[in-house]
Amino acid sequence: MAKITYVEHNGTKHVVDVKPGLSVMEGAVKNNIPGIDADCGGACACATCHVYVDEAWRDKTGERSTMEVSMLDFAEGVKPNSRLACQIKVSDALDGLIVQMPESQH
């Protein structure tokens, strides 16, 4: 299990255990954490699972894929640490990960 902290835009924190193999998006959805819509169910096709990865975790969460880059291109408020949560796979190495949600998903 990896402990992941999801921080809502208003600052509310949700700390949950997520099974390795799931995505960071699934970790939120399965625990009913608000702020991630995941309209496409994880196919990297909607950009409604946009999160900001805490600076300390950017290297460990890897690089964006080409498809992810083009989907993020149309999201709101994109920053250098923006990622699509469905494209980050949870592993033991991500134990302690912190992600923040944007104001809203477009």
Partner 1 sequence: MSDGSIDLKAEARAKAYAMPLEDINLADTEMWRTDTAWPYFERLRSEDPVHLHPAHHHPDGAFWSITRYTDIMAVDTNHEVFSSEPSITIFDPKEDFKLPMFIAMDPPKHDVQRKIVSPIVSPANLHLMEPLIRSRIQSTLDSLPIGEPFDWVDKVSIELTTQMLATLFDFPWEDRRKLTRWSDIATAGPESGLFVTDDHETERRMELFACVDYFTRLWNERVNAPPKGDLISMLAHGEATRNMDRMEYLGNLLLLIVGGNDTTRNTMTGSILAMNENPDQLRKLQANPDLIPSMVSETIRWQTPLSNMRRTATRDFELGGKLIKKGDKVLIWYASGNRDETAIENPNAYIIDRERPRNHLSFGFGIHRCVGNRLAELQLKILWEEILPRFPEIRIVEGPHRVASVLIRGYSSMQVVIPVRT
Q: Is residue 47 a contact residue for ligand FES (CB under 6 A)?
A: yes
Among 2, 7, 28, 46, binds ligand FES (CB under 6 A): 46
Chosen from ligand FES, partner 1, none, partner binding at 73 (C-beta under 5 to 8 Å by type): partner 1
Q: Is residue 42 a contact residue for ligand FES (CB under 6 A)?
A: yes
- E-strand stretches of 25-106: 50-53, 82-84, 98-100
- The one segment of 5-13, 32-40, 72-80, 97-105 that binds ligand FES by CB under 6 A: 32-40
d(CA 92, CA 77): 29
Alpha helices in the chain (DSSP H): 24-30, 66-72
Q: Strand order of the sheet with strand 98-100?
A: 13-18, 2-7, 98-100, 50-53, 82-84
Shortest CB 93 distance to ligand FES, Å: 21
Return the residue matching tokens 């939120």: 28
Nearer to ligand FES, 6 or 11 (CB): 6
Interface residues toward ligand FES, by CB under 6 A: 25, 38-40, 42-49, 71, 84, 86
